[in-house]
Amino acid sequence: MSAVDDLLMNNEEFAWKFDGRGLPRSPSRGIAVVACMDARVDVYRLLGLALGDAHVIRNAGGVVTEDVVRSLLVSQRLLGTREIALVHHTDCGMQGVREEDVTAQVQAETARPLPFSLEAFDDLVTSVRESIARLRANPFLPHTDRIRGFIYDVETGRLAEVRP
């Protein structure tokens, strides 16, 4: 049995108990959260969110990329969110990665250049500040005055706010 087969069995149990009917499309708390995809980061539990409370956008490193901006544009312009929380974390797999090494390896294996940046970083605080700055400078997002950034400690479960 594969991992996907296990997930499908889990879904049967989930669907049997499902209680999310009737939730509106727009998040009830009017917030979008951008976070890392790390499996140790349970965004809903660490922020006390319930189904329907927020949009949660995840990627490697939780950094602001073109696709994050695309999702935030939809979140704000079509679904009414007004606040953004960025959540990076300690012991991140993107921290300290030498992007040029990974890019060279992928290009050698595929004979194609990567069409995107990995957005690796050395310093968590700097990365959060850069992501806040990218969002605030983005002309496509109408609501950039309520953006806050945090670092989640995977060992303690605590958030620390990063001032821009």
Structure confidence by residue, pLDDT tens digits, 123-149: 999 999 999 999 999 999 999 999 999
The two counts, helices (H) then strands (E), for the chain are: 5, 5
Give residue-wise pLDDT tens across range 72-120: 999 999 999 999 999 999 999 999 999 999 999 999 999 999 999 999 9
Task: Say if residue 1's pLDDT is above 90.
Answer: no
Is residue 24 situated within a structural domain? no
Taking the C-alpha atoms of residue 37 and residue 57, their distance in angstroms, rounded to an integer, is 9
Biggest alpha carbon distance in the chain? 50
DSSP letters, 24-80, are -SS-TT-EEEEEE--TT--HHHHHT--TTSEEEEEEGGG---HHHHHHHHHHHHTT-
- Between 20 and 25, whose confidence is greater? 25
Is residue 39 situated within a structural domain? yes
At residue 143's C-alpha, the angle toward residues 64 and 137, to 5°, is 50
Tell me the CA end-to-end span of the chain in Å, nearest whole number: 48
- The boundaries of the domain holding residue 57 are 32-162
Amino acid at 139: P
Is residue 17 situated within a structural domain? no
Taking the C-alpha atoms of residue 130 and residue 116, their distance in angstroms, rounded to an integer, is 17
Is residue 54 situated within a structural domain? yes
Is residue 10 situated within a structural domain? no
Find the CATH number of the domain harbouring 125.
3.40.1050.10
Is residue 126 situated within a structural domain? yes
pTM score over 0.75: yes
Average confidence (pLDDT) over 55-72: 97
Q: How many domains does the chain have?
A: 1
Is residue 132 situated within a structural domain? yes
Q: How high does pLDDT run on average in the chain?
A: 96
Task: Say if residue 21's pLDDT is above 90.
Answer: no
In which residue are the tokens 């940046």 written?
117
pLDDT of residue 99: 94
Is residue 21 situated within a structural domain? no
